[in-house]
Chain A
Amino acid sequence: MVNAVTASIGTLSAVGLCKAFPQENAPDVVALDQVDLIIHSGEFVSLIGPSGCGKSTFLRLVAGLAQATAGTLTLDGQPIVRPGCERGLVFQDPTLFPWMTVYENVAFGLRVRGLYRQNSHEVLEFIELVGLKGFEQAYPHHLSGGMAQRASLARTLVNHPKVVLLDEPLGALDAFTRMGMQDEILKIWRQRGTTMVMVTHDVDEAIYMSDRIIVMSPRPARIEKVIEVTIGRPRSRDLPDFLRLRSSILQILHFTGNRPDLPFYL
Chain B
Amino acid sequence: MSGLTAHNRVDDKFSFDKRTLAPLGGLLLVALSHRFIPDAPRYRPKVLADLSVTLWLLIGLFGMLSLVAPFAPALRRRLVYKSWFLAAAVVALGIYDLITLKLNLIPSLFFPAPERIIDVFITDGAFLLKCMAYSLRLLFSGYILGAIVGLATGVLVGWSPRWSYWVSPLIRMVGPIPSTAWIPIALVSFSSAYDASVFLVALAVWFPMTVLTSSGISNVRKSFFEVSSTLGANSFHNVFRIAIPGAAPSIFTGLFNGASSSFLTLMSAEMLGCKFGIGWYINWQRETLSYPHVYAALGLMAVTFSLLISFQLKFRDWALGWQKGTIRW
Contact = CB atoms under 8 A, between A and B. Distances in A.
Interface string B235-254: 00100011001101000000
Contact of B223 (A63, A93, A98, A139): A93
A155 interface: yes
A237 interface: no
Interface string A227-255: 00000000000000000000000000000
A97 interface: yes
- Determine the main DSSP class of A at the interface with B: loop
A159 interface: yes
Interface residues of A, number: 28
Contacts of B223: 91, 93, 95
B228 A141 contact: no
A64 B233 CA distance: 13
B322 interface: yes
Given A93-B223, A95-B223, A141-B322, A83 B230 contact: yes
A149 to B, nearest CB: 13
Contacts of A84: 230, 232
A217 interface: no
B231 interface: yes
Contacts of B248: 99
A139 B322 contact: yes
Interface string B266-285: 00000000000000000000
A130 B323 CA distance: 25
Given A85-B230, A88-B230, A113-B232, A99 B245 contact: yes
Contacts of A111: 241
B230 A99 contact: no
Contacts of A98: 322-323
Given A97-B245, A113-B232, A91 B323 contact: no
A85 B323 CA distance: 28
A95 B237 contact: no
Contacts of A88: 230-231
Interface string A112-125: 11000000000000
Given A95-B224, A112-B234, A112-B241, A65 B322 contact: no
B226 interface: yes
B227 interface: yes
A266 B221 CA distance: 54
A141 B231 contact: no
18 contacts: A64-B229, A64-B230, A65-B229, A82-B229, A83-B229, A83-B230, A85-B230, A85-B232, A95-B221, A95-B223, A95-B227, A97-B227, A98-B323, A99-B246, A100-B322, A108-B233, A141-B322, A141-B324
Interface of A: 63-65, 82-85, 87-89, 91, 93, 95, 97-100, 108-109, 111-113, 139-141, 155-156, 159
